[in-house]
Structure 1
Amino acid sequence: MGRSRDYREHGADASAGSGPVSRHGDAGAVGVARHFGAQQRRMPVWLKATTAVLTVVLLGGLGFAGYWYFRLQSNITTAPLNAGDAGSGSDDAKGRMQILILGSDTRDGKNAVYGAVEDSVGYGKSDVMMLMDISADNKRVSVISFPRDLLVDIPECTDQKTKSSYPARSGMMINEAMAEAGIGCAVDTVNKLTGLEIDHFMMADFNAVKELSNTVGGVEVCISDAVYDPDSRLRLPAGTSTVQGEMALAFLRTRHAFADGGDLGRIRAQQGFLSSLTRKIKDDGTLSNPAKMLNIADTVTQNLTVDDGLASVPSLLTIGNRLKDIDISKVAFVAVPTTPALSDPNRLQIAEPAGSQLFTALQQDIDLTDPTAPATPSPSETAAPSAEPTETVPAVPPYEKAIQPVTVANGTGVQGRAQEIVQALVAGGFTQTGQFAATPVTQSAVYYGTGFEDVAADVAALLGIPAAQVQSAPGVTGVQAYLGTDFTSGTTYGAVALPEDIVNQTAGDTMCQQANPFLIVQE
């Protein structure tokens, strides 16, 4: 009997039979489960400590991320993208992106030390205006500067806050575009001038430059001679210097220290500063360093106004992510081609045909550092032959180029454009030419009257206009080359012609600014 009690208490030998073994096996299983349960209740100290540390780290990380997200998001100030229609619905993560970068001259708040509030009217003027164009493949960036003295046509604009409307104006300085109706009016003005559709804008004030230059530890700049500008208080020795804070702002603000003391010298200096800043950020690995990016993002967002489409931390980070791997030799800095304005030699106007050539290249997404790649215009509406009469000489057989009547109808919207094509025709042997302004159209065409089909084919071939755009028009005497907005530059259709020196520098170029002779001082 005692042995039986022993079996019950300690289990049975497997040879004793399946029944008892099965029952005691179940009991044993329960016993094992209780044994593990006891181990869980008595968790080792090291495991408790590890779990606590991991919990703290996880919660701390989430709290840190939440803190920075909330802080950066709270910093952002917004304004409408346009002063009329709704803005672009582009996908910021991919596709081409164009951002208008503005520097405001407002004297409110921290900027009061740079003048009285009365020095800036309404929303303030754009002290700096640059268009940053990021290619769809993230392999190149073009930065186009607009001189603030440039005279342009400002379209009708509506202040999206007050709903007050302002009529269109002609011959106005471009930096006045946002003073009345807000930043959106500046965006609309650049859209009208360039034929583009800007996706976003960023506007910073004086304080942003100071704080950003401090955050990155200064920016290297170079000037040919020692200068002192009493207006901006810029004082630099000859050669290379590192500027930050007030001196960095003075370098960007001065209107007199560089070249001949005009706006174009100022633009080149600003581009040189941004080139140097780009190199520093790339060399320091800032765009791949979360801690450095947070510091810059905090600095920038505190002094930045953006459109609603960029009014989130992920949207801003998307831009940084797109820029981080771009070769600095493909970051091109360009100034809009200008010439002294006919109405006021102290102001500037677009220089033609160079201005239209630049805008056409931008519309066709041409690499400004290598504009030789062919561009194929997209098909669009076909022009109708102009009804405007032209003086022509009847064709005389046999076919001789020198006596064929060929006219050029300028439907490009670019003043003087027809003369370029006339010169190309004369050089090609068609010396009996005429030209006139015509209704703007989107697609160029060659029209021919009865008996001039062969002449039209040769004219089209000379200008590179596809055969599909050569059409019969009995009302035309001779041949008429009707130029559309797809043919605003060059003498070969579909090819973009650009001035050789259109790119001032790339971010990979280290350049020294020429000092204004009148402000050079002895070191």
Structure 2
Amino acid sequence: MGRSGVRGERPRPSGHGGAEARAGDLGWDESLYQDTGGAVPGPDDRRPPGHRHKGGRAKRRRGIRILRWTAGTLAVLVLATAGAGYLWYRHLNSNIKTDKLNIGEHRAAKPTPNAAGQTPLNILLIGSDDRNSKENLKLGGHKASVGAAPLADVQMLVHLSADRTNMSVVSMPRDTLTKLPKCTDPKTGHVYEATVTPQMVNGSLGRGGPGCTVATWEEMTGIHIDHYLMVEFAGVVTMADAVGGVPVCVDANFVGRYRGRTTGEGTDLKLKKGTTYVKGEQALQWLRTRHGFEDGTDIARAKAQHMYMSAMVRELRENATFSHPNKLRQLAEKATDALKPDEGLDTIKKLYDLSVELKKPNPKRMTMTTMPFVYAGSRVVPTPAADKLWKMIREDVALDGKDKKKSTTQVSDDPAAADDKIAVQVRNGTRTATTGAVPGRASAVQQALIGKGFTLAVSDRSASLAVDRTVLDYPSDDLEGDAQAVAKSLGIPLSSVKKSADVSGVTLTVGADWKTGTTYPKSAAESDDPAKSLDKNQTQNGADGKQCMHVQDGYTW
């Protein structure tokens, strides 16, 4: 990774005056960082009559506003604290290590601006388990992991709406299976070919760096990602220390290993029932814990991470007033050292500008959720509901359901061929985790299509898939109109028609939502309310401070 202070650095005015002028342009109050005995003047700081201090009350008010940081996500905290150290512009810029945003072959399309010319902002937060440093090894565990490729064990997409009124945060489980794209390592030039079979998504980080994780997300979701922010184990600890702790809650006395064990899977986290402020290694342990929370899975860990992030937001908005210049300096130093952003965020100025945007939404309009999935053995795979979620984000639809606009699918500009010229393959996807596939479903729907004039329809009798919602896939833009014509003939909503690289022609997979009949049931049609499409157990509101993680039996003391 290159250091932004060396690569691409623009000439800057020499001397202290240049830094002061630049700081003044951004509204920074230099007097806050001068030697005042560690205190910021307050309303009780009386001066003799007639004494006039440059800037007066207006400057003091502005200084207090500058020091009162609020944030929208964990990334916002890091960005805002980085901005607090603007006086060390050159020094802090040299701390920032950057890498390429996307090292894949393709980019997702940029969103269309709204009527006001505004566009959404999408940032991928990546938590790396890299153990190739003494600090990370101490916090991350096993020596056998030294030298291994890092894994992206935490992946969260932060979507800021175009009008900046709401924010959505979506976690993807680390063991999600997907085909990883072709990526080229920007440092060595080594090419990682696209995988033929699905792999765990967290392996994308070891295929040339975070730019490959971004490429994987863009190919999976079709969402254009503007930036990424990556932090390692040691970075989480230093930042948690810097902010003084974050409140988290458990519904019983909790210990991170099964009762009586001192080794094995789990963490050394130990908490009393109720709310505890965690920081340092405790914060890291909270973010890594899954054994003992909820159902003990990686999904439970994502829920705990959401709770941590939303608690940090509330804590900052209510209590974060930093009155000591040295503390601000430490925050800035730790933030720039811990963060590894993409090359588009290579200066403090850019990080600060980004933080201003991200902290605009009120926590009440902040929704955190987990990608809809089903288990595939011990791993997970996205469901059609995940496609709907990605579509809502692409279309900038708020996940809390409070927007007036709804997610809509446009009729394709591509004209459909004649019905008897459209080849359609029908597959049976009615199998579920608890029931077998309904016999003859593919053939029944195939015959219905033939009766409607789609005489080239065939059924794949060998396929027995598990799909919770019927989906119509097409491989290329010139077949979109054909796929929509098939959907219309059967009453399937256009939102279930999607482009996919996994099919070679128009392919209809009859899901578990359509086990009988030859017309798609109205009751299975997608809801227009985005909030109803999310798993309530995995969805949190940023302003809700009453949630506690459920502790499993055997993990109490």
Alignment equivalent of 1:373, drawn from 405, 411, 425: 405
- The one-letter code of the counterpart of 2:183 is C
Equivalent position SS for 1:368: coil
Deviations 1:286-309 (A, max 9, x none): 699999776544322111111100
Equivalent position SS for 1:84: coil
Alignment equivalent of 2:310, drawn from 254, 267, 275: 275
Is residue 187 from structure 1 mapped to residue 214 from structure 2 by the alignment? yes
- Going from structure 1 to structure 2, the CA distance change for 1:406 and 1:229 (only over 3 Å counts) comes to same
Q: Tell me by how many angstroms 1:445 deviates.
A: 4.0
Is residue 246 from structure 1 mapped to residue 281 from structure 2 by the alignment? yes
1:353 corresponds to: 384
Structure 2: state its 5+ residue gaps.
1-50, 64-83, 258-265, 426-445, 459-464, 496-505, 510-521
1:159 corresponds to: 185
Alignment equivalent of 1:101, drawn from 118, 125, 130: 125
Q: Please show how residues 254-333 of structure 1 align to structure 2 within 5 Å.
A: 254-284=289-319, 295-333=330-368
Distance 1:217 1:171 in 2: 41
Q: Please show how residues 28-67 of structure 1 align to structure 2 within 5 Å.
A: 67=87
Work out the percentage of aligned pairs sharing the same amino acid: 28
Bigger shift: 437-446 or 96-105?
437-446
1:206 corresponds to: 233
Equivalent position SS for 1:143: strand
Alignment equivalent of 1:382, drawn from 389, 414, 426: 414
TM-score (norm 2): 0.63
Q: Please show how residues 138-149 of structure 1 align to structure 2 within 5 Å.
A: 138-149=164-175
| CA root-mean-square deviation | 4.4
Is residue 512 from structure 1 mapped to residue 543 from structure 2 by the alignment? no
- Going from structure 1 to structure 2, the CA distance change for 1:340 and 1:407 (only over 3 Å counts) comes to farther
Query: What is the aligned length?
Result: 412
2:470 corresponds to: 420
Structure 1: state its 5+ residue gaps.
1-48, 396-402, 422-435, 449-455, 467-479, 484-488
Distance 2:322 2:396 in 1: 25
Distance 1:278 1:408 in 2: 56
- Going from structure 1 to structure 2, the CA distance change for 1:481 and 1:216 (only over 3 Å counts) comes to closer
- The one-letter code of the counterpart of 2:295 is D
Alignment equivalent of 1:336, drawn from 353, 368, 371: 371
Deviations 1:47-72 (A, max 9, x none): xx999999xx9xxx9xx987421232
Tell whether the 8 Å contact from 2:470 to 2:508 is kept in structure 1 after alignment: no
Alignment equivalent of 2:161, drawn from 130, 135, 159: 135
- Going from structure 1 to structure 2, the CA distance change for 1:241 and 1:437 (only over 3 Å counts) comes to closer
Equivalent position SS for 2:333: helix
Deviations 1:452-503 (A, max 9, x none): xxxx89957966779xxxxxxxxxxxxx9999xxxxx997799576624366
- Going from structure 1 to structure 2, the CA distance change for 1:201 and 1:458 (only over 3 Å counts) comes to closer
Bigger shift: 501-510 or 262-271?
501-510
Equivalent position SS for 2:235: helix
Distance 1:384 1:287 in 2: 62
Alignment equivalent of 2:101, drawn from 72, 81, 90: 81
Deviations 1:224-271 (A, max 9, x none): 111212432110111111111111111111231311211011110011
- Going from structure 1 to structure 2, the CA distance change for 1:465 and 1:165 (only over 3 Å counts) comes to closer
- The one-letter code of the counterpart of 1:193 is M
Distance 1:68 1:409 in 2: 67
Tell whether the 8 Å contact from 2:372 to 2:535 is kept in structure 1 after alignment: no
Equivalent position SS for 2:533: coil
Tell whether the 8 Å contact from 2:98 to 2:341 is kept in structure 1 after alignment: yes
Distance 2:316 2:359 in 1: 9
Deviations 1:416-470 (A, max 9, x none): 889737xxxxxxxxxxxxxx8654448854799xxxxxxx89957966779xxxx
Distance 1:512 1:214 in 2: 22
TM-score (norm 1): 0.67
- Going from structure 1 to structure 2, the CA distance change for 1:292 and 1:96 (only over 3 Å counts) comes to farther
**More relative contact order, 1 or 2 (CA 8 Å, 6+ apart):** 2
